[in-house]
């Protein structure tokens, strides 16, 4: 059987280079070899308050970004999570399989709940259950994610196994697909923090929509260390190692090749080369986002087709799940 890949991005804020390296870039490579479902996970987005008008705009923006990053709708399905209601139905059922104690261990919940000023929603707590439903609904066996999602994916595996043991073989156990280098891109201003869409500090992240002069400024201002050597050591030199990771993914050079290119040179030279490599990688994407965004009928058509394909598989799976659990009537 052909491998099935599922992955998604929340349409919250603008996407950054961390989302690109860990998710979109991997997706664009995978689509040539596997059957892929790439979802815009708007139901996940509302686990923290969203402005409804902005959310709708962000959903279409995310679809344009997927296409601009090279995701080809003739090779894979691109669709919006809330348009396939089976995601939420399965999430409810899996919520009776997952345990509160398991959800309480999720570090993302602990981090995100600290930032909520108007109380923490129950949806933020049960987010990993919905993520399990997203993946298990399609029997995805491969899930490309950044390192921050590994704990959620592990929970999806636990839930799938537990369901299969209780009700008989129903779900495929998914495996993570994680970049060897760059599974966690860090903030340009604080190498202890991951680069995050919702970080209010603009200089902490490189957005896919950033123009060349902004990219140059952000990289030239990125924190480094006092040692002055371009050397990969995430423990002792986390900031420089993070910048080297960005250079590795945008120049195609290995970490060793980067070290030898900048042997005896300072951070200034390295940052200039990094900025040009990032600009060369992201500029074509930025230009394409604009053109996909302005062709809304084409975007609508792609999202309709993706939804229909996803819905067919999801409906079949839910029929089986209802039977296994004993819901409704025969
Ligand atoms: N800094 C990162 N490095 C590598 N991968 C990352 N991802 C996110 N941040 C980094 C990966 O991008 C995919 C989509 O992420 P998401 O939209 O589902 O949510 P997130 O992990 O919560 O992303 P952000 O950017 O940090 O958003 P906010 O600030 O809204 O919470 C996932 O595969 C994720 O692993």
Distance CA 244, CA 227 (A): 15
pTM to 2 decimals?
0.93
Instruction: Pick the residue whose CA is nearest to atom 35 on ligand 1.
Output: 146
**Mean pLDDT computed over 260-286:** 96
> In the annotation, is 115 catalytic?
no
Residue ranges per domain, the chain? 4-177+296-325, 202-291
Q: Residue range 15-27: average pLDDT?
A: 94
Q: Would the CATH topology of 4-177+296-325 be identical to that of 202-291?
A: no
Closest atom, ligand 1, to C-alpha of 45: 30
pLDDT of residue 69: 96
Which phi and psi angles does 196 have, rounded to 5°?
-135, 140
183: pLDDT strictly greater than 90 = no
**Where does ligand 1 bind, in terms of residues with CB under 6 Å?**
9-10, 12-13, 18-19, 22-23, 145-146, 148-149, 184-185, 194-198
Q: Which CATH architecture describes the domain 4-177+296-325?
A: 3-Layer(aba) Sandwich (3.40)
Mean pLDDT computed over every residue of the chain:
95
Predicted local distance difference test score (pLDDT) of residue 2 = 73
CATH 3.90.550.10 fits domain 202-291? no
1: pLDDT strictly greater than 80: no
How many angstroms separate the CA atoms of 198 and 232, rounded? 28
Kindly state the average pLDDT of the residues 314-319.
Answer: 98
Could you write out the three-class secondary structure of 174-219? CEEECCCCCCCCECCCCCCCECCCCCCCHHHCCECCCCHHHHHHHH
Give the pLDDT band of residue 13 (cuts 50, 70, 90).
Answer: confident
Q: Percent of the chain at pLDDT above 90?
A: 91
Position 182 pLDDT exceeds 80: no
**Predicted local distance difference test score (pLDDT) of residue 295:** 87
Verify whether residue 112 is a known catalytic residue.
yes
Q: In what side-by-side order are the strands of the sheet with 4-9?
A: 76-80, 35-40, 4-9, 142-144, 175-177
CB 270 within 8 A of CB 232: no
- What value does the mean pLDDT take over residues 271-282? 98
Confidence band, pLDDT 50/70/90 cuts, at residue 181: confident
State residue 49's pLDDT score.
94
């Amino acid at each position: 059987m052909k491998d099935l890949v599922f992955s998604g991005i929340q349409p919250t804020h603008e996407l950054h280079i961390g989302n690109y390296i860990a998710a979109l870039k991997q997706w664009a490579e995978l689509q040539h070899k596997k059957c892929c479902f790439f979802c815009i996970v708007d139901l996940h987005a509302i686990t923290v308050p969203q402005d409804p008008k902005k959310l709708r705009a962000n959903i279409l923006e995310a679809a344009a970004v997927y296409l601009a990053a090279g995701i080809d709708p003739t090779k894979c399905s691109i669709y919006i999570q809330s348009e396939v209601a089976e995601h939420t139905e399965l999430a409810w059922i899996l919520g009776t399989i997952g345990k509160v104690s398991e959800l309480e261990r999720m570090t993302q919940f602990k981090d995100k709940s600290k930032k909520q000023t108007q109380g923490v929603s129950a949806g933020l707590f049960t987010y990993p259950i919905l993520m399990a439903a997203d993946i298990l609904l399609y029997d995805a066996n491969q899930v490309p994610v950044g390192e921050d999602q590994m704990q959620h994916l592990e929970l999806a595996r636990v839930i799938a196994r537990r369901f299969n043991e209780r009700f008989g073989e129903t779900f495929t156990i998914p495996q993570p697909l994680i970049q060897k280098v760059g599974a966690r891109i860090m903030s340009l201003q604080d190498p202890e923090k991951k680069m995050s869409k919702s970080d209010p500090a603009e200089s902490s992240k490189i957005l896919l929509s950033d123009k060349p002069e902004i990219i140059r400024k952000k990289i030239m201002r990125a924190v480094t260390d006092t040692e002055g050597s371009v050397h990969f050591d995430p423990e002792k030199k986390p900031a420089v190692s993070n910048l080297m990771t960005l250079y590795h993914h945008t120049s195609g050079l290995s970490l060793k090749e980067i070290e030898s290119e900048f042997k005896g040179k300072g951070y200034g030279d390295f940052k200039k080369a990094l900025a040009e490599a990032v600009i060369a990688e992201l500029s074509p994407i930025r230009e394409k986002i604009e053109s996909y965004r302005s062709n809304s009928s084409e975007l609508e058509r792609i999202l309709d087709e993706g939804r229909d394909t996803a819905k067919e598989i999801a409906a079949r799976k839910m029929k089986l799940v209802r039977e296994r659990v004993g819901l409704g009537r025969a």
